[in-house]
A and B are shown apart, each in its own frame.
Chain A
Amino acid sequence: MLAADIVCGALFALVTVLGFFAARWRRGDLNRIEEWGLAGRRFGTIVTWFLLGGDLYTAYTFIAVPAFIFGVGALGFFAVPYTILVYPLMFAIMPRLWSVAKRHGHVTLADFTRDRYGSQSLALIVALTGILAIMPYIALQLVGIQVVVGELGARGTGLRADLPVVIAFAILAAYTYVGGLRAPALIAFVKDALIYVTVIAAVIVIPHKLGGYAHVFAVAERTLAHRPTPGGLILPPRQFTAYATLALGSALALFMYPHSITSVLSCSDRNVIKRNAALLPAYSFLLGLIALLGYMAIAAGVKPVTASYAVPDLFVKMFPGWFVGVAFAAIAIGALVPAAIMSIAAANLFTRSIYRPYVRPDCSARREADVAKLSSLLIKAGALAFVLWLPTDYAIDLQLLAGGWILQIFPTVALGLYGRWLHRWALLAGWMVGMVSGTLMAMSQGFKSIYPLHVGGMVIPGFAAFYALLLNLATAALLSVVFHASGVSNGIDKTSASDYGEALAR
Chain B
Amino acid sequence: MLGCPSVDPHSKQVRPEAWGDDPFTESILEAVPTALLLVDRAGRIQRVNELTGRLFGWPREKLLGQAVEVLVPAGLREQHPGQRDRYLAQPVARAMGSGRELFGQHRDGSEFPVEIGLNPVLSGGNVHVLAAIVDITERKRLEANLVAHTHELEQRGAELERSNEALERSNVELQQFAYVASHDLLSPLRAISGFVQLIQHSADLDPSNKERMARVVSGVSRLGTLIKDLLDYSRLDTRARPFETVKLEPVLRQVLELLEVQIEESGAQITHGALADVEGDAAQLRQLLHNLIENAIKYRGDVPPEIRVEAREEKDCVRLAVVDNGIGVDAAQAEKIFEIFRRLHTQQQYPGTGIGLAVCRRVVTRHAGRIWVESLPGGGCQFLCTLPRAERAAP
- Whether chains A and B associate is no
